[in-house]
C-alpha cells in the first residue's frame, strides 16, 4: 500500500496511570467522538484465587497464572473487551514480536478494551490489556510498541508479584484484591477508587511507592525490547511528550494522586530520549499495513456519530491528510457501511480490491458489507476467497462458518472448523461456532460439550458444568460420549470445589480481620 509523508489524524486524551498501568481519563476534545461504556458500581473479587495467609510468601508462576486467568474472566464479564478477530490477532502479533525477546517464563496474552481512555496495563500471569483510545492516540506503530514493551517489562520483572512479596508489607490476598480493584478502575474510575480504598491506605501507599521505582526499570527494559524488535526507540519519548502536553489542559485537582503512579515528567522524557540516542543505531521498521488498517478500523468502531466519521474521511481524502492512502480509503469504506450507504461502500471496496487484490482485510470487510446488505451468497463467496488467501485468518474462517451455519449448511461449517488451526489452541468463538453447527445438525451431545468448552474458555466454570450435565441427560448419548462428558465434568467440578474453598477461606479471614478491628 502506498504511503504519503503527512501527519495522520490522531486523537489524544488526558494521561493517568493506575498502579502497573499507563492510563488516562477522557481528556481534551477529539477529532472524532468516541463511544464510552456504562460505568459499573461494583466489581466481584470473590473469584480471585486464594494464596494463603503468609505475608511476603513467594508467589509461584502457577499462582500468577491463576490470578491472570481470574482477572481475565472478570474483564470479559465487566469490561468491553474487543472480540473482533482482526483486532485480537493484530495486538497479539505485535505483542509477541516484542515478547519473544523478553525471556519471559510464561505465555503472553494481549487484548484490547474498547474505550476512549488512554490506558494499558499488565497483570501477573502474562496478561497485557491495551485500550482502543491508546491505540488511536499513537501516531505510528513504534509508539504503540513502546507502551506494550513497557508493560511486558513489568511482567518479566514480576513487579506485581514483588509488590506483595517485598518486606512482608502486603499480604498476598490483599494483592489479589488490589489487582481486582485496578481492573475495575480501568473500566470505571469512580467505582475503582472505592474498591482501591477498601484495600487499606497503608498498603496503597506502599504499592504506589514500590511501583514508582519499577517504572524506571520498565522504561529501560522496554526500550531494549523496542530496539531488539526493530522499532524506533525514540518513539517512547515522543509518546510521553505528547501525553505531557495533553495533561496541561487537565485540572490536576481532578486527578487522584493514587492514579498518578506513572507520572509523565520532563525528566522522564529526557531520560527516555537520552537512553534511545545511546543505543546502537539499527534499521527501523516502518509502520506495518496491519497497524494502519487496525487503526482505521478502531477509529470507526469507536465513533459515536457515523455521519461525522464519514465527513472526517471525506475531508481527509480531499485534503490528502493521511499517511497511508489505501488504509484511509478502507476507513472511508467502513464509515460508508456504518451510515448504510452500501452502494458507496461497495464502490469504495471494489476500487481498493482492484488496486490491492491480496489484502485479506479488504476482502473480509467487503464480505461483511454484503452480509449486512442481505447478499448472503456474495458474502459467502468473499469469505471463502479470503480464507483461502490467508489460511490463518480467524476472521475470514469464522465469518464463513457463521454464514454456513445460518444458511442451512452446518455440516460444511463444522468440517471447515475441524480443519482449521491447531487442535490444542482453540479460542472461545471456535467452540461456540462448532456448538452452533452441531445444534443445527441435531448433534445434541456434542453441541452441549462444545458449548461447555466455550464457557470454560471464558472462565465461567459453572455454566460449563451446566452444559455437561445437560449432555449427560441427552437420550442419544453413546457410551464413548458419556465417558468423555463425565471426565470433563469431573475436572470442572474439582476446579469449582477449589474455588469454593478459596472463597470460604477468604471470607473467614475477612471476618476475623473485621472482628479484630
What pLDDT, on a 0 to 100 scale, did the predictor assign at position 271? Answer: 83
pLDDT tens-digit map of 394-417:
999 999 999 999 999 999 999 999
Using DSSP's 3-state secondary structure scheme, residue 334 falls into: helix
Q: Is the pLDDT of residue 251 over 70?
A: no
CA dihedral sign of residues 166, 265, 139, 339: positive
Largest Cα–Cα separation, the chain: 73
pLDDT at 171 over 60: no
333 and 270 part of one domain: no
Judge if 407 and 469 occupy the same domain: yes
pLDDT tops 60 at residue 154 = yes
- Give the residue carrying C-alpha cell 511476603: 56
Q: In what order do the strands lie in the sheet with 127-131?
A: 14-16, 21-25, 120-123, 127-131, 109-113
- The pLDDT of residue 167 is above 80: no
The answer to whether residues 63 and 118 belong to one domain is yes
* 383 assigned to some structural domain: yes
Residue 65, in any domain of the structure: yes
Confidence of residue 205 (pLDDT cuts 50, 70, 90): low
Q: Residue 296: pLDDT band by 50, 70, 90 thresholds?
A: very high
Per-residue model confidence (pLDDT) at position 212: 66
When divided into structural domains, the chain yields a total of: 2
Q: Are residues 260 and 320 in the same domain?
A: no
Q: Can you tell me which residue has the cell 474510575?
A: 189
The pLDDT tens digits for 482-506 are 999 999 999 999 988 877 666 666 5
One domain, residues 91 and 211: yes
> Given pLDDT bands bounded at 50, 70 and 90, which one contains residue 193?
low
**Nearest by Cα to 306 from 14, 79, 34, 103:** 34
- Hey, how many other C-beta atoms are within 10 angstroms of the C-beta on 284? 14
Would you place residue 472 in the very low, low, confident or very high pLDDT band (cuts 50, 70, 90)?
very high
For residue 104, what are the contacts with CB-CB under 8 A and spacing of at least 6? Answer: 126, 152, 155, 156
**If pLDDT is split at 50, 70 and 90, which confidence band does 163 have?**
low
What pLDDT, in 10s, does the model give residues 383-395?
999 999 999 999 9
Start-to-end CA distance of the chain, whole Å, equals 65
State residue 181 phi and psi, 5-degree precision.
-65, -40
Residues 245 and 316 in one domain: no
Q: Which residue has the higher pLDDT, 259 or 376?
A: 376
Q: Which of 118, 141, 140 is nearest to 130 (CA)?
A: 118
Grid cell of 93 as nine digits: 502479533
C-alpha 128/C-alpha 96 separation (Å) is 11
Domain containing 451 equals 305-494
- What would the mean pLDDT of 236-244 be, rounded to a whole number? 84
Q: Do 90 and 204 belong together in one domain?
A: yes
Residue 127 has phi, psi (to 5 degrees) of: -95, 125
Span 65-115, pLDDT tens digits: 877 777 787 777 777 889 999 999 999 999 999 999 998 888 899 999 898
Percent over 70 (pLDDT), the chain: 71
Q: Compute the Cα dihedral for 390, 394, 395, 398 and give only its sign.
A: positive
Q: Flag whether pLDDT at 16 surpasses 70.
A: no
CATH number (domain holding residue 447): 1.25.40.10
Residue 129 lies in a domain: yes
Predicted structure pTM score: 0.83
Computed over every residue of the chain, the mean pLDDT equals: 79
Amino acid at each position: 500500500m502506498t504511503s504519503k509523508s503527512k501527519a495522520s489524524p490522531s486523537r489524544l486524551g488526558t494521561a493517568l496511570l493506575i498502579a502497573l498501568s499507563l492510563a488516562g481519563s477522557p481528556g481534551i476534545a477529539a477529532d472524532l467522538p468516541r463511544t464510552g461504556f456504562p460505568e459499573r458500581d461494583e466489581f466481584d473479587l470473590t473469584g480471585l484465587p486464594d494464596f494463603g495467609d503468609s505475608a511476603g510468601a513467594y508467589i509461584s508462576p502457577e499462582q500468577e497464572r491463576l490470578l491472570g486467568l481470574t482477572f481475565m474472566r472478570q474483564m470479559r464479564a465487566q469490561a468491553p473487551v474487543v472480540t473482533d478477530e482482526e483486532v485480537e490477532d493484530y495486538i497479539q502479533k505485535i505483542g509477541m514480536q516484542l515478547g519473544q525477546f523478553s525471556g519471559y517464563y510464561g505465555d503472553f496474552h494481549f487484548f484490547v478494551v474498547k474505550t476512549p481512555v488512554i490506558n494499558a496495563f499488565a497483570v501477573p500471569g502474562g496478561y497485557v490489556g491495551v485500550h482502543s483510545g491508546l491505540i488511536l492516540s499513537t501516531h505510528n506503530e513504534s509508539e504503540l510498541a513502546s507502551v506494550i514493551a513497557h508493560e511486558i517489562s513489568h511482567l518479566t520483572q514480576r513487579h506485581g508479584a514483588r509488590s506483595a512479596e517485598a518486606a512482608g508489607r502486603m499480604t498476598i490476598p490483599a494483592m489479589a484484591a488490589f489487582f481486582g480493584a485496578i481492573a475495575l478502575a480501568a473500566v470505571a474510575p469512580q467505582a475503582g477508587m472505592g474498591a482501591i480504598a477498601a484495600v487499606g491506605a497503608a498498603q496503597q501507599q506502599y504499592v504506589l511507592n514500590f511501583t514508582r521505582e519499577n517504572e524506571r526499570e520498565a522504561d529501560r527494559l522496554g526500550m531494549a525490547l523496542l530496539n531488539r524488535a526493530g522499532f524506533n526507540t525514540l518513539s517512547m519519548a515522543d509518546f510521553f511528550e505528547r501525553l505531557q502536553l495533553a495533561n496541561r489542559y487537565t485540572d490536576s485537582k481532578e486527578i487522584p494522586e493514587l492514579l498518578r503512579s506513572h507520572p509523565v515528567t520532563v525528566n522522564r522524557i529526557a531520560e527516555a530520549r537520552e537512553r534511545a540516542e545511546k543505543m546502537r543505531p539499527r534499521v527501523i521498521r516502518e509502520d506495518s499495513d496491519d497497524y494502519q488498517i487496525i487503526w482505521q478500523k478502531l477509529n470507526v468502531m469507536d465513533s459515536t456519530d457515523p455521519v461525522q466519521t464519514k465527513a472526517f474521511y471525506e475531508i481527509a481524502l480531499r485534503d490528502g491528510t493521511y499517511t497511508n492512502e489505501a488504509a484511509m480509503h478502507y476507513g472511508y469504506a467502513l464509515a460508508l457501511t456504518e451510515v448504510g450507504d452500501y452502494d458507496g461502500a461497495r464502490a469504495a471496496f471494489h476500487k481498493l480490491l482492484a488496486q490491492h487484490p491480496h489484502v485479506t482485510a479488504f476482502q473480509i470487510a467487503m464480505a461483511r458489507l454484503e452480509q449486512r446488505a442481505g447478499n448472503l451468497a456474495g458474502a459467502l463467496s468473499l469469505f471463502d476467497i479470503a480464507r483461502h488467501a490467508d489460511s490463518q485468518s480467524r476472521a475470514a474462517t469464522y465469518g464463513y462458518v457463521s454464514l454456513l451455519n445460518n444458511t442451512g449448511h452446518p455440516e460444511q461449517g463444522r468440517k471447515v472448523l475441524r480443519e482449521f488451526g491447531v487442535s490444542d489452541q482453540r479460542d472461545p468463538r471456535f467452540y461456540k461456532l462448532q456448538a452452533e453447527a452441531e445444534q443445527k445438525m441435531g448433534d445434541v451431545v456434542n453441541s452441549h460439550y462444545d458449548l461447555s468448552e466455550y464457557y470454560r474458555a471464558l472462565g465461567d466454570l459453572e455454566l460449563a458444568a451446566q452444559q455437561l450435565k445437560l449432555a449427560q441427560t441427552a437420550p442419544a448419548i453413546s457410551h464413548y460420549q458419556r465417558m468423555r462428558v463425565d471426565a470433563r465434568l469431573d475436572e470442572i467440578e474439582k476446579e469449582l470445589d477449589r474455588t469454593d474453598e478459596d472463597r470460604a477461606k477468604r471470607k473467614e479471614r475477612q471476618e476475623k480481620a473485621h472482628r479484630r478491628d
